Structure 1
C-alpha cells in the first residue's frame, strides 16, 4: 500500500497526462488540447437542471467535479491553464477559489461569466482539439465548439486504461468510502430495514447523496436480487427478509468504486453456502488478473467455474463443460465478468484494439461483456461473477432444449433468494494483482 502523499503522486500523474496529450495532438495534427468541464442541462419544458456530471476528460487532469463552465487548456511545452468559473451568484453557493495540492501546477484564470472564458482560450479554434459535449460551445458563431477529433480521442481513451499511481490512490480512497457504506447497509439489512432505508444508511455512511455516487445504488431484498439493475427501492421490507444484494459504489476526486456483496439472513443456511461457493470462485478469478491475460478468456473461465457451482448445488445435472457448451450457463450468468473502472464506472476503450482505433470483438454468444482487451500493468478492472434465478430467464430456459439439464425443484428452492453477485475492483500489476476491495474490507474489519 502506498505511503506517498497525493501531492507527490499528482506531479507524476500530470507528467504522464502531459506526455499523452502531446502525442495525441501530434496524431490529430493540433496544437492545443481544450477541455470544457461541461455545462448544466435543463429538463425539457422546465427550468430545472439535470444533475451535473463533469466531463471525464476534464476531471482526469484536475479533481474538480462540481465546476460547470470551466475550461482546461493544454499546450505542449507550456504549463497547463485552468480557466475557472467563479460566478457572482446570490442564488447558489459559489465555488471557492481553487486550492489544494494540484493548483501549483497550473496557470489559473478566474472568470465571473461563462463567456469570459473566450479571452483565455487559444485564438485559433481550428488548431484546437476540443473534447466535450455540444452544449459546451462558446462564441457567437460556435467558436470553440467541441470537435472531438477521433485520433485524439482514440489515443487518450486507450491509454486511460493504464492508471497512474495517483489514480490508483484516488480509487483506493473511493473503496474505503464504499466499504463503509457496505458495512452500514449490511447492519441495516440485519436490523430489518427496507430497501429505501438501507439505501439511506448507505448514503449516510459514505457521506454522498444519490447524485454524488458514481451510479444508482442497487439495493435488492429477496427475489429482487434476480433483477440485474434493480433500483426501485421499496419503502417496506418483504416478510420474511431472506437475502440482500447490494451493488453500490462511491466517488473520490472524480474516481469510482464499484462493489457488490450478497448476504443471507440465515448465516447457517444453504443460501449462505451458495454465496460462499461463489465468493471462493470469485477470489480465484481475481487472482487471474495478471499481465498478459486475455480478459475474454477470464470471462469464459468464469462460466466454467460458475457452472461447477451450479452442479455442486444440484441445480444443473450436467458437467460444467456441457453447461457452457450448450449455453445453459448463460441462463444463470447472463452478464459479463466485469469491465474497466476509473473516471467512469464502465470505463472507456474496453474494446479498443490499439491507440489508433479498431475493435476487439466479444466472444461469440457473449454480447454483454464490456472489456475484451489483454490485461496489462496499471489496468483496474471489476470481477463480478453472479448466478441468478430470474423469472424471465428461467421461463425461457424451461421452454428450451436445455430444460432437461436442470433440476427444477432446486431452482424453485433458490428462487425466493433472487441471486448472488460478488464484485471486487482489482489492479493488474507486474506481479500479483492488488484487490483494492478486499484490502478495504480487511482494513475495516
Structure 2
C-alpha cells in the first residue's frame, strides 16, 4: 500500500477537510448517512478473468487505499467514519494488507473475510445513501448517487489540501522519471512498445497502475490526439516522439506531455516555439483568471505562431477570427487534475449544480471555471498536422489561407504538445511538472 509523502498532521488535516465538505453537502441535501463503495471487480464477458480494478475516487478521497475492492466507507454526519475492509482468506489471490499509518486513527476500521459478514454490517443502514456503481444486496433499496449531493462534493474537490498537493507532486516526480527513461529510449531508436515499457519500469508501475493509458507516438502518429496503438515494429526513421503519459501516487494522477525531435532542426525549433508559448500561458495562471479566457489567449498565440512559421497566408488576427486555428489546435487548453486525470467539476458554476458549459466554438474545453488558489490543472497547448482536419479544406476558400507546402513539410512529424501540471498559488502558479523534472535531473 502506498503511503503519501507528507506529514501525518497534513494527512489528518486532509481527512478533517473531507469530513467538513461531506458534512456541508449532506446537511444541504438532508442526507444523514452515506455508504461509499471502493468498487467491485468486474468479470470479462464469457470469461472467468476480471478486468483491472479501479477504485472509486470518492472512496479514495477519504483513504489512500487503491487496491481494496468490495470495501465500504460509512459516514454518518458528525461521527467517526467506519471503514469496512474486505479481507478474504484466499489461496487464489493475495489478501490486501491491513492499512497502516497515522491516518488510520481517524477511522473505526473493521476487516471482514466473508461477504455475508460485510452484508450484515451494512444491513442496518436504513437511512443511508449509496455512492458508487453497484450497491450490495443490503443497500439495493437505498437512494444511489443523488445528483445534488454529488454536485456539491464535486464542486469543492477542485480545491486541493496540502496532503493532496504532496501526492500530486510525487506523482509528477514518478512521471518525470518515466519521461526521462522514454526519451532515452527514443534517442536509442526504440519502438513505441519498448518506449511504453521503459516508461512503466522507470515509474515502478504496471500497466494497471497507470492513471490513464499513455500516448506513445512516433513520427506522424503524434497527429492522433489519443493515439493508443503501441507499434512493435521500429520505424525506419525516428523523426519525432510525442509522449503523453503520467504516473499515479496514492490514487492521485500526473498528466505530462513532451515532444522530441529526432534530429531535424526545423522541428526542434517548432518544439521550442510551442514550449515558449506554453510557459507564457503558465505565467498567466493566477486566482481570478477565467480558464475560458486562457483558452482564447492560447488560440491567439497559436495564430501568431502559425503566421510566424508561415503555416498560414493570412494574419494572426484573421486566423483567430475565422477559427482557422482550430484546424491546428482542436482540443482544450487543459483540465482539472487530482484523483482523476480529468478531474470533476470543470463545468460547474457552483455547488448547487449550476453549469458553466464550454462555448459552442470550443466544445472540447474541459474547464470553464474561474481559477482559485490551490486548484490544480493542466496547461497543454499544441500544434498538429492532422490529415482529417486539414485535407477537407485544401480546395476550399478556407484552405486558401493555408500554406500547404509548409504544412506538408511538417506532416511526417505529426505535431507538438507540451503539458505541465499546475497549482494555482496566491500570486501566480507552481509548476509541479517542471519542478519534478528539475528534481529528477538533480538526482532526487
Shorter-chain TM-score bucket reads over 0.9
Q: Distance in 2 between matches of 1:353 and 1:254?
A: 26
1:39 alignment partner, SS class: coil
Q: Map residues 6-25 of structure 1 onto 2, 5 A cutoff.
A: 6-25=7-26
1:35 aligns with 2:33: no
Q: Distance in 2 between matches of 1:428 and 1:233?
A: 34
Residue of structure 1 in register with 2:321 after alignment: 325
1:360 aligns with 2:356: yes
Cα deviation per residue 1:219-278 (whole Å; 9 max; x = unaligned)? 000000000001100111211111000000000000000000000011x60100000000
Indicate conservation of the 8 Å contact 1:28/1:149, yes or no: no
Moved more, 211-220 or 94-103: 94-103
1:173 aligns with 2:170: yes
Cα deviation per residue 1:318-366 (whole Å; 9 max; x = unaligned)? 2222111111000000000010100000011110111000211212311
Indicate conservation of the 8 Å contact 1:129/1:152, yes or no: no
2:246 alignment partner, SS class: strand
Deviation at 1:444, TM superposition (A): 1.6
Cα deviation per residue 1:116-153 (whole Å; 9 max; x = unaligned)? 2233337233x22211002x3233x825x561112210
Indicate conservation of the 8 Å contact 1:244/1:263, yes or no: yes
Residue of structure 1 in register with 2:230 after alignment: 233
1:77 aligns with 2:78: yes
Deviation at 1:28, TM superposition (A): 1.6
Among 199, 203, 208, which residue is 2:200 paired with? 203
Query: What root-mean-square deviation, in Å, do the aligned CA atoms of Structure 1 and Structure 2 show?
Result: 1.5
Q: Map residues 79-158 of structure 1 onto 2, 5 A cutoff.
A: 79-121=80-122, 123-125=124-126, 127-134=127-134, 136-139=135-138, 142-143=140-141, 147-158=144-155
**Unpaired segments ≥5 residues, structure 1:** none
Q: Map residues 200-349 of structure 1 onto 2, 5 A cutoff.
A: 200-266=197-263, 269-349=265-345
Cα deviation per residue 1:34-69 (whole Å; 9 max; x = unaligned)? 101010111112111111110001000001011101
2:254 alignment partner, SS class: strand
Q: Distance in 1 between matches of 2:108 and 2:167?
A: 23
Indicate conservation of the 8 Å contact 2:260/2:268, yes or no: yes
2:362 alignment partner, SS class: coil
Cα deviation per residue 1:376-400 (whole Å; 9 max; x = unaligned)? 1121000000111011111123143
Cα deviation per residue 1:185-206 (whole Å; 9 max; x = unaligned)? 0000000000000000001000
Q: Distance in 2 between matches of 1:209 and 1:288?
A: 36
Indicate conservation of the 8 Å contact 1:35/1:130, yes or no: yes
User: Number of aligned pairs?
Assistant: 438
Q: Distance in 2 between matches of 1:433 and 1:259?
A: 17
